[in-house]
Amino acid sequence: MFSPNDVYVEELYYQYLRDPNSVSPEWQEYFRTYAAHPPQQRNGKQSIVPTPSIAPNFGGVGSETAPAGSPRAMPLTEIKRQLLAGEQAEPLSGIRERIAENMTRSLAVPTATSVRDIPIKVLEENRLLINDFLSSRGKQKLSYTHIIAWAIVRALRKYPQLNDSCIAAEDGKYYRIHRPSINIGLALDTVRSDGTRVLVVPSIKAAETLTFAEFVEHYNELIEKARRGKLSVEDLAGATVTLTNPGMIGTVMSMPRLMEGQGLIIATGSIDYPAEFSAVMPEVLVTLAVSKVMTVTSTYDHRIIQGAESGEFLQYLEHLLKGEGNFYDQIFAALKIPLEPYRWTVDNRLNPFGPQEKEEQLEKETLVNKLINAYRVRGHISADINPLGYEAFHYPELQLSYYGLTVWDLDREFDTGGLGGVKRAPLREILRMLRKTYCGHIGIEYMHIQSPEQKFWIQEYVESTRFERTFTPEERQRIYRKLMEAEMLESFINTKFIGAKRFSIEGSEAFIPTLDYVLGCASRAGLKGAVLGMAHRGRLNVLVNIMGKQPEKLFNEFEGIFDGDSVLGSGDVKYHLGSQAIYRAPDGKDISVVLAPNPSHLEAVNPVVEGMARALCDEFGDRTYSTVLPILVHGDAAFAGQGVVQETLNLSRLRGYRTGGTIHIIINNQIGFTTSPEDGRSTPYASGIAKFLQVPILHVNGDDPEACIAAAQFAFEYRQRFGDDVVIDIYGYRKYGHNEGDDPTATQPLLYRAIRQHQPVRQLYRDRLFAEGVLTPEEEEHLSTDYHALLAAAFDRRKEARTEQQQPVQLSASVHGPVSTGVPVETLQMIGERLTTTPAGFNLHPKVGDELKRRRQQVQSPQSQVSWGMAEALAFGSLLLEHRPVRLTGQDSQRGTFNHRQAVLHDYQTDSIYIPLNHIAPEQERIHIYNSPLSEYAVLGYEYGYSTIRTRGLTLWEAQFGDFANGAQIVIDQFISSGEEKWGQVSNLVLLLPHGYDGQGPEHSSARLERYLQLCAEENMIVCYLTTPAQLFHALRRQVHAPWRKPLILLTPKGYLRKVSSPLEELATGAFYEVFDDAQIPDPATVERVLLVSGMFYYELEAARSARGLDSRVAIVRIEQLYPLAMEQLRQIIDRYPNARDIVWVQEEPQNMGAWQYMFPHLIALAPHRRICYVGRPAAASPATGSFLVHNQEQEAVLASAFDKLEPVFDCSAR
């Protein structure tokens, strides 16, 4: 059997004879088999090498009988005799002779040909669309032939009989060979080494079983093998149908020869407008909706295929190429193109032969503008942002058909509204610009922003740049180096500490160069610092590759040995630790960076970082609050799931909390532990909650680090221009489970199958740089070798770097030591005068004016009685004069929930404000006092972060009621009470918690004192329940003047705010007292019972004692500071009452609340030979009753019990 591949095979055979090793082993084996059975001689020559075929070798095939209808062979003498003058007879040899023989033998096959002109408008436009998509992804483009060949395969599935062939047997009968598979041959014109051209027809086997993507892969592989002369025996065997494309060289139509063994050959002509339109102006062609056409011929074996079958086949082929049968939809789906393909339709112009009607023109212009707007609003939905390829899909509002536009409108020009700086453009170009801008590796959401200035700035930025940035080779090499460092550090740790938790960044390594770029922008912009907050994933990588932590210290931490500079106290796990460093950008500019320590409570660090940034701005004197950059790194599940995210976002534009714009980066693993996104959020994106803030949100493909950098550049420029937040949502994946010891395949098998098959971003980017000549394999190997050597050397040095494990810090100064907090009377009087003076013409509210008059009287003399609110104001004012800044926030804190503060005065007529505390003296510090939003969690976290930076001043947070503070319990538990012990992070934050039982119900009575006391240990914080304004004054000043820094939990009064007072001289000459003995006892020996109490309940006990005439028999001792408890001082006081048999703890709270559980063991230690008694409400599930009547009854019962006969809880005297 002869074949068009004969010539190619014979050439290989001659090459094999010269040097067997010059051909592949497969061809060597084939030619050895051929040599063992040489063919017969023909006309004195050896016949050509038989081409491999999977067709059966029926008898008679290949016989020397000339085919019917072939030209008669003439004697050579006759040929020469007939030559005219000047003519020569040149014998054909080699390849040319073989071609002549093949063509002659093809005459044995009786053929017929069907011809059809097919309009290819839809094919052309969809191919452009496909190639725009593929090129944007760095993939190889498709030729027309890719799609036409696939259409032929689809058509043969509908008409399988055209895939058959006909064979003549020795018995004189013809046999129809039914082919089980479609093996489509591709006629390829190849160039030999000597410049001559050879036709080969390799085939794609079983094409009907392939997806289009697989078909393209096989097609491209054959083309490449043919180009390199590497086609195999199998490649050249068994074509059942052939496609040839002479149209590539301009041929309009061709009727190729059908080779024996096939039943069909398809030829495609050139693609152009019909000849009759060749001189028509392009504008007219567009107006008339004239399509280019392609002539397709179907040459078939007429013995088994009839003309009608061939005609139907071509008709169906036309339908497919027009898009019927979901032809292009399936192609787009196979290539994961998130767009709807163009479809064939009739042009809908009203009058194509005349000028376009104005109304019709305006309507289409309007429709195109709607389409443009739709891309601005919804383009991100079709963006290629998911490395795993799951997210993108086509959206109706982004399709032409949604607006009644057709494929014929693509060549027509429309007004763009200035899109990308272009006034008018063909619709095709408009769509291309829109897709490049909004549907690439970055999908941006910004049309929800109401500010026209911000929205139009974003629109101009993204449409003019299309997020395309020209990187220098040095920049790209740095990006790669950061990717390499990120991946190699994780890999190194994994090999040295197998199975250890590290919460690796693998799968989202692009985050590291993104963060590196943001910090570089900050340094180049001259910012003074950056504060970074992030959870555990990727934290170790940031510490080493961004913050510059020595790897050997990290390796020591994996072995349980922490460096003294990294941690104080008992420490924390390595992936919670913070750090401070000087970051140096590539241009040599520096910026100070703080990585805040964090607990495992995801997102809890967010407000802490914001507070730290604000405090640094205040320290730098930056009233714009923009010179320190907060960067918050989130997890996708946590960003959507943790309420503190919303609370923190809400702070961003509030004048008391703004920090000049935060850059948020979501490391989007597309999973939360084992929870899939569909179970973890109700929004399409993890970033959905951020839209309420009306900030731009950029979704970025983490497999494209340059896109991540482009998003970071946009984010920084936007932040600098508008002082607003930006969210970058980097789509990646998590290589391992939640931690390295977790197996995620049990719960997400398909996801992790895709992850296992996915190339890492470092490899993808490396190959890209190789292909573009930016990096050579030798340079890359040098980089990776050097970094691995650095890590290995650090690992070997780790023992040298070890120090003894850090012991808990022991403070040199005792928390119980005296602290000088008095202020001269004259200074207090001056402060009081300034605080009660307003500018001329300032219209005070009458009630506020009366309050200021009363306060002025409170500083008239040393014996003047100072109220609670005035004592606080004097403490603030005195600190400000001492150049100690004060910051106070909370709900209603400017006025005070109970009208006791009035720190910010409002003009009753104009609503202008005046803050007397900021007008005491010219050189004073300022007080920053703000009403907070209705939030506890974020606001308290913010103030804690602020206080860790500005420890030279006083930072306070006031709860509206102490009951509400548990809305910030995570901050109290994970930061305030334990931050110093875990991270060495000190704070002198003051929590003002209104507390007291006055009948206001279960949510307005208790600050949950017991919870704070339960958290107390190792002198971690101070808990006070004070009884006098003077104590408040000294407690607040002690927070600043003490040699230590500790958080202060201060339970403050409500109803007693105006009932208690202290002489002014106690503020001047006194100090803070941790315990008050009973000064009213004339003779301690007469005391039979000692009541211990804390807080304002003291005054009710004192009144009840007097009413019962027990002033000399019952002593009331006030414990002002519950923790740390002044044990020695308290023991001395109790010892003063030798005859007091009962030591009674009295409280308003139920027995399972308040300080009783905390005090009980201390009382046993303090009174070893006495009876320990409890007086208070019985244990209860709720802190207080909701009935005022019941409250009064309970209060009276508690007071009565304090003086009645008591049964001891513990009788030490009986031991």
Residue 321 sits at φ, ψ, to 5 deg, of: -70, -20
For residues 389 and 352, is the Cβ–Cβ distance under 8 A?
A: no
Residue 626 has which token pair?
């923009």
CA distances 44 to 47, 60, 702, Å, are 9, 21, 68
List helix spans (H) across 137-230: 144-158, 212-227
45, 49, 51, 53: CA torsion to nearest 10? 100
List helix spans (H) across 861-908: 868-881
> What residues are paired with 267 via a beta bridge?
244, 297
1143, 1144, 1145, 1146: CA torsion to nearest 10? -150
- Within 15-108, strands assigned E span 41-42, 45-46
* Distance (Å, whole) CA 347 – CA 252: 26
If we measure between CA atoms, which residue out of 58, 36, 66 comes closest to residue 49? 36
What element of type H or E holds 167? strand 165-168
List helix spans (H) across 43-120: 76-81, 94-106
CA distances 42 to 31, 39, 751, 1211, Å, are 20, 9, 64, 127
For residues 992 and 1025, is the Cβ–Cβ distance under 8 A?
A: no
CA distances 897 to 890, 891, 961, Å, are 9, 7, 8
Q: What is the DSSP letter of 782?
A: H
Residue 269 sits at φ, ψ, to 5 deg, of: -90, -175
Neighbours of 580 (CB within 10 A): 12
Locus of tokens 């101009």? 460
What element of type H or E holds 465? helix 452-465
Q: What is the DSSP letter of 641?
A: H
Catalytic residue, from 37, 146, 302, 919: name it.
Answer: 302
- Within 937-1063, strands assigned E span 954-958, 990-994, 1022-1025, 1048-1052, 1061-1063
Radius of gyration of the chain (CA): 43
Q: Annotated catalytic, 302?
A: yes
For residues 844 and 852, is the Cβ–Cβ distance under 8 A?
A: yes
Answer whether the bond into residue 1124 is a cis peptide, omega within 30°.
Answer: yes
3-state helix, strand, coil in the chain (%, to 5): 45, 15, 40
Locus of tokens 């009058």? 351
> What residues are paired with 926 via a beta bridge?
none
* Distance (Å, whole) CA 6 – CA 18: 19
If we measure between CA atoms, which residue out of 104, 111, 113, 110 comes closest to residue 2? 104
* Distance (Å, whole) CA 108 – CA 302: 12
Neighbours of 390 (CB within 10 A): 14
> What residues are paired with 114 via a beta bridge?
298
* Distance (Å, whole) CA 434 – CA 437: 5
CA distances 919 to 113, 622, 833, Å, are 101, 20, 11
Which amino acids are annotated catalytic? Answer: 302
